[in-house]
Amino acid sequence: MAMATDVPKDSFRLSMLIYDTRYRSYTIQIVVLVLFAMAVAWLLNNTAQNLAARGKEFDFTFLWQRAGYDIGQQLIPYTNDSNHFRALLVGLLNTLAVAFWGCIFATILGVTIGVLRLSRNWLIGRLMTVYVELFRNIPLLLWILLTYVILSETTPQPRDFRVTDEMAAAGEAPAASMMIFDTVAVTNRGTNIPAPLFERGLGTLDLGFMSLNLTFWAILAVVVGSIWANRRLLAAARAQQEATGDRPVTWWKSILILFAPVIVMLVAMGFHLEIPELRGFNFAGGILVAHSFTALTVALSLYTAAFIAEIVRAGILAISRGQSEAAFALGLRPNRTMNLIILPQALRVIIPPLISQYLNLTKNTSLGIAVSYLDLRGTLGGITLNQTGRELECMLLMMLIYLTISLIISAVMNMYNKSVQLKAR
């Protein structure tokens, strides 16, 4: 007598491909694979036909042609004689600049608001709730457009800053004045901020395909070196503390190591600020920050801060009261309780959604199109695309770059996330 578990052999029927769970998953997967391959083939075939019909080829050599357009904000040298690839790099750096400053401001603002929303102060709690609801429920595009319009239509013209002789004699103030100790001027053309200059800079190193600003890299190297030396110092102090029980005094050494080399270097290179001043009809000197950059950064920070505030609030609320009570029972003071008990645990809850907010912010920089900010989408996906007519190549390349940025950010943040995650044993 056959056991119940025996599978009847040699009775394979075609219907078993659908009804037998042993084979069904293979059937489904093969069908899916075939359908997918057919779809891809269909798309590729259509694309090839369409390209042929338009007399175009799929190649990226246009990237090395002359771009021929100007970009207002450039973090690396660029002229309209540079090629499209160079324009792409400038745009990419502009995207990253907005994303970088946006993430920093949004984090600072978001954490502050999230903590304040939990405050026992009724008024502040309500105000922060209003802020969060207002920014979360209104499209980001509105905030970008509104900030831009306000900056460019309500700010004074450069000539309003002028003090004429008659006005000086009559003791009248000009229609507009500069801010922060007369160093920053906001006009309807942009924001003029002081520029860092070096009398004896190290110059640039031309590597042929790109040029390096040696001054910038030297300062960066010194800062990184100082931080590394400081960490060595602290590690040595800790080792001594564990060996002898006494921790040597390190705070003045730390300050010295962190700041002295940079200051010495800046003084040696003759660092000074060039303050913008009114010459003729416009401000000269300093750096002119375009309103498109300011509006985009401000709006993105304000908008994302509302989301980060909610994340921070949820993270702190997720830590049960027992944790802080236990810390108080151990005799920890309130700020040490926050630093040692609450925050490390709350961070585990906060970081994963925070990563996706950073990603969202980075992707949302593409809304710079609304204020004509020349980011990656504005250069590669905008002017380059229109000039060369290579929609397919430009769009694919742009998506690939955005995808790479997203994946890099999420990989880096996930690494950080792993390091603070609960170590389950």
User: Which residues of the shown chain bind other proteins in the complex (CB under 8 A)?
Assistant: 15, 18-19, 25, 28-29, 32-33, 36, 43, 46-47, 49-51, 53, 116, 119-124, 127, 133-134, 136-142, 145-146, 149-150, 153, 359, 363-364, 366-367, 369-370, 377, 381, 385, 391-392, 395, 398-399, 402-403, 406-407
Q: Is 153 helix (H, G, I), strand (E, B) or coil?
A: helix
Q: How far is the CB of 99 from other proteins (least distance, A)?
A: 11
Q: Could you tell me if 317 and 118 are in contact, meaning their C-beta atoms sit under 8 angstroms apart?
A: yes
CA distance 222 to 235: 20
CB atoms within 10 A of CB 208: 5
Q: What is the bridge-based pairing of β-strands 287-289 and 211-213?
A: unpaired
Q: How far is the CB of 27 from other proteins (least distance, A)?
A: 10
Q: Is 133 or 172 the residue whose CB approaches other proteins more closely? A: 133
Q: How far is the CB of 245 from other proteins (least distance, A)?
A: 37
Q: How far is the CB of 299 from other proteins (least distance, A)?
A: 12
Q: Is 14 helix (H, G, I), strand (E, B) or coil?
A: coil
Q: How far is the CB of 34 from other proteins (least distance, A)?
A: 10
Q: Is 176 or 195 the residue whose CB approaches other proteins more closely? A: 176
Q: Could you tell me if 117 and 313 are in contact, meaning their C-beta atoms sit under 8 angstroms apart?
A: yes
Whole-Å CA distances, 172 to 163, 165, 185, 277: 8, 10, 19, 19
> What's the distance, CA 375 to chain centroid?
13
Whole-Å CA distances, 174 to 137, 163, 187, 260, 333: 40, 6, 14, 42, 53
Q: Is 327 or 376 the residue whose CB approaches other proteins more closely? A: 376
Q: Helix count (H) and strand count (E) of the chain?
A: 15, 9
CA distance 406 to 359: 6
Q: How far is the CB of 317 from other proteins (least distance, A)?
A: 14
Q: Is 249 or 415 the residue whose CB approaches other proteins more closely? A: 415
Q: Is 37 or 220 the residue whose CB approaches other proteins more closely? A: 37
Q: How far is the CB of 222 from other proteins (least distance, A)?
A: 36
CA distance 200 to 261: 17
Q: Is 16 or 223 the residue whose CB approaches other proteins more closely? A: 16
Q: Could you tell me if 360 and 300 are in contact, meaning their C-beta atoms sit under 8 angstroms apart?
A: no
Q: Is 126 or 279 the residue whose CB approaches other proteins more closely? A: 126
